[in-house]
Amino acid sequence: MSEQLIFTQNANRTQIYQEILPQIQAVMANEPDEIANMANVAAILREAFGFFWVGFYRNIENELVLGPFQGPLACTRIKIGKGVCGTTALKQATIIVPDVHVFPGHIACSSASKSEIVVPCVKAGITTFVLDVDSDSLADFSEVDKVFLEQIVALFKN
Protein backbone atom coordinates (compact mmCIF):
# COMPACT_ATOMS: atom_id res chain seq x y z
CA MET A 1 0.00 0.00 0.00
CA SER A 2 1.17 3.48 -0.82
CA GLU A 3 1.67 5.89 2.02
CA GLN A 4 1.67 8.92 -0.24
CA LEU A 5 -1.25 10.40 -2.12
CA ILE A 6 -0.34 11.54 -5.62
CA PHE A 7 -2.43 14.08 -7.51
CA THR A 8 -1.86 17.12 -9.70
CA GLN A 9 -1.78 20.29 -7.62
CA ASN A 10 -4.13 23.07 -8.80
CA ALA A 11 -5.95 20.72 -11.18
CA ASN A 12 -9.72 20.90 -11.52
CA ARG A 13 -11.87 18.67 -9.34
CA THR A 14 -12.67 16.19 -12.08
CA GLN A 15 -8.99 15.55 -12.73
CA ILE A 16 -8.18 15.22 -9.03
CA TYR A 17 -11.04 12.76 -8.49
CA GLN A 18 -9.87 10.77 -11.52
CA GLU A 19 -6.36 10.64 -10.07
CA ILE A 20 -7.32 9.72 -6.50
CA LEU A 21 -10.10 7.21 -7.26
CA PRO A 22 -7.72 4.40 -8.28
CA GLN A 23 -5.57 5.20 -5.24
CA ILE A 24 -8.60 4.88 -2.96
CA GLN A 25 -9.45 1.58 -4.65
CA ALA A 26 -5.89 0.36 -4.04
CA VAL A 27 -5.94 1.41 -0.38
CA MET A 28 -9.24 -0.40 0.17
CA ALA A 29 -8.46 -3.47 -1.95
CA ASN A 30 -6.78 -5.57 0.71
CA GLU A 31 -8.33 -4.04 3.81
CA PRO A 32 -11.57 -5.73 4.93
CA ASP A 33 -12.13 -3.41 7.92
CA GLU A 34 -14.72 -0.79 7.02
CA ILE A 35 -13.64 1.62 9.78
CA ALA A 36 -10.03 1.58 8.58
CA ASN A 37 -11.20 2.25 5.03
CA MET A 38 -13.44 5.10 6.19
CA ALA A 39 -10.48 6.67 8.01
CA ASN A 40 -8.28 6.53 4.94
CA VAL A 41 -10.98 7.81 2.60
CA ALA A 42 -11.65 10.79 4.89
CA ALA A 43 -7.92 11.57 5.02
CA ILE A 44 -7.49 11.25 1.25
CA LEU A 45 -10.44 13.52 0.45
CA ARG A 46 -9.33 16.16 2.95
CA GLU A 47 -5.75 16.09 1.69
CA ALA A 48 -6.69 16.19 -1.99
CA PHE A 49 -9.27 18.97 -1.79
CA GLY A 50 -8.68 20.79 1.48
CA PHE A 51 -12.32 20.39 2.48
CA PHE A 52 -13.25 21.88 5.86
CA TRP A 53 -14.59 18.59 7.21
CA VAL A 54 -14.84 15.06 5.81
CA GLY A 55 -16.27 12.15 7.71
CA PHE A 56 -18.66 9.30 8.12
CA TYR A 57 -21.75 8.78 10.24
CA ARG A 58 -22.64 5.12 10.75
CA ASN A 59 -26.20 3.93 11.23
CA ILE A 60 -26.20 2.22 14.61
CA GLU A 61 -29.61 1.19 15.91
CA ASN A 62 -31.35 3.70 13.61
CA GLU A 63 -29.23 6.67 14.69
CA LEU A 64 -26.26 8.18 12.86
CA VAL A 65 -23.17 7.89 15.05
CA LEU A 66 -19.93 9.70 14.30
CA GLY A 67 -17.30 7.53 12.64
CA PRO A 68 -13.86 8.30 11.24
CA PHE A 69 -13.39 11.90 10.18
CA GLN A 70 -10.87 14.63 9.38
CA GLY A 71 -11.46 18.16 10.59
CA PRO A 72 -12.63 20.00 13.68
CA LEU A 73 -14.82 18.60 16.45
CA ALA A 74 -18.09 17.18 15.17
CA CYS A 75 -21.59 16.28 16.28
CA THR A 76 -21.57 12.79 17.79
CA ARG A 77 -25.13 11.60 17.09
CA ILE A 78 -27.72 12.65 14.52
CA LYS A 79 -31.27 11.35 14.39
CA ILE A 80 -32.39 9.78 11.10
CA GLY A 81 -34.44 12.43 9.29
CA LYS A 82 -32.76 15.38 11.04
CA GLY A 83 -30.29 17.78 9.44
CA VAL A 84 -28.61 17.14 6.11
CA CYS A 85 -27.05 13.82 7.18
CA GLY A 86 -30.23 12.46 8.72
CA THR A 87 -32.32 13.58 5.75
CA THR A 88 -29.88 11.92 3.36
CA ALA A 89 -30.06 8.70 5.37
CA LEU A 90 -33.86 8.80 5.33
CA LYS A 91 -34.24 9.65 1.63
CA GLN A 92 -31.35 7.39 0.60
CA ALA A 93 -30.22 9.93 -1.96
CA THR A 94 -27.27 12.33 -2.18
CA ILE A 95 -28.04 15.87 -1.06
CA ILE A 96 -26.02 18.93 -2.10
CA VAL A 97 -26.62 22.03 0.03
CA PRO A 98 -25.15 25.26 -1.43
CA ASP A 99 -25.85 27.21 1.78
CA VAL A 100 -26.34 25.17 4.95
CA HIS A 101 -27.81 28.17 6.77
CA VAL A 102 -30.96 28.01 4.63
CA PHE A 103 -31.41 24.21 4.84
CA PRO A 104 -34.50 23.53 7.00
CA GLY A 105 -33.43 21.89 10.24
CA HIS A 106 -29.70 22.16 9.54
CA ILE A 107 -27.62 20.97 12.50
CA ALA A 108 -24.76 23.42 13.01
CA CYS A 109 -21.89 21.28 14.26
CA SER A 110 -19.60 24.15 13.21
CA SER A 111 -20.56 27.71 12.33
CA ALA A 112 -17.65 27.76 9.84
CA SER A 113 -19.37 25.21 7.60
CA LYS A 114 -21.13 26.96 4.71
CA SER A 115 -21.97 24.25 2.15
CA GLU A 116 -22.26 20.49 2.30
CA ILE A 117 -22.70 17.29 0.34
CA VAL A 118 -23.86 14.05 1.94
CA VAL A 119 -23.80 10.68 0.18
CA PRO A 120 -25.58 7.61 1.57
CA CYS A 121 -24.40 4.01 1.44
CA VAL A 122 -27.46 1.80 1.06
CA LYS A 123 -27.20 -1.97 1.44
CA ALA A 124 -30.25 -4.25 1.28
CA GLY A 125 -32.55 -1.22 1.48
CA ILE A 126 -30.92 0.17 4.65
CA THR A 127 -28.69 3.24 4.89
CA THR A 128 -25.62 1.80 6.61
CA PHE A 129 -23.69 5.07 6.71
CA VAL A 130 -23.36 8.48 5.13
CA LEU A 131 -20.28 10.28 3.85
CA ASP A 132 -20.48 13.92 4.90
CA VAL A 133 -18.27 16.60 3.32
CA ASP A 134 -18.41 20.22 4.45
CA SER A 135 -16.84 23.32 2.96
CA ASP A 136 -16.19 26.71 4.48
CA SER A 137 -17.19 28.25 1.12
CA LEU A 138 -20.72 28.72 -0.18
CA ALA A 139 -21.89 26.58 -3.13
CA ASP A 140 -18.66 24.57 -3.15
CA PHE A 141 -20.16 21.27 -4.36
CA SER A 142 -21.52 20.29 -7.76
CA GLU A 143 -22.60 17.34 -9.84
CA VAL A 144 -18.90 16.48 -10.27
CA ASP A 145 -18.55 15.90 -6.52
CA LYS A 146 -21.80 13.93 -6.47
CA VAL A 147 -20.72 11.59 -9.26
CA PHE A 148 -17.28 10.85 -7.82
CA LEU A 149 -18.26 10.70 -4.14
CA GLU A 150 -21.03 8.24 -5.05
CA GLN A 151 -18.40 6.11 -6.81
CA ILE A 152 -16.23 6.23 -3.69
CA VAL A 153 -19.13 5.24 -1.44
CA ALA A 154 -19.98 2.39 -3.84
CA LEU A 155 -16.54 0.89 -3.11
CA PHE A 156 -17.81 0.09 0.39
CA LYS A 157 -20.62 -2.06 -1.04
CA ASN A 158 -18.21 -4.60 -2.50
* 1-35 residue pLDDT tens: 457 899 999 999 999 999 999 999 999 999 999 99
CATH number of this structure's domain 13-157, picked from the four choices 3.40.50.261, 3.30.450.40, 3.30.930.10, 3.50.50.60:
3.30.450.40
Please, where are the H alpha helices in 50-124?
83-91
Task: Report residues of the chain scoring pLDDT below 70.
Answer: 1-2
- pLDDT recorded at residue 20: 97
Distance CA 116, CA 118 (A): 7
> What's the whole-model pTM score?
0.95
pLDDT at 111: 76
Handedness of CA 100, 105, 107, 110 (dihedral sign): positive
115, 124, 129, 144, 158 from 23: Cα distances, Å: 26, 27, 22, 18, 16
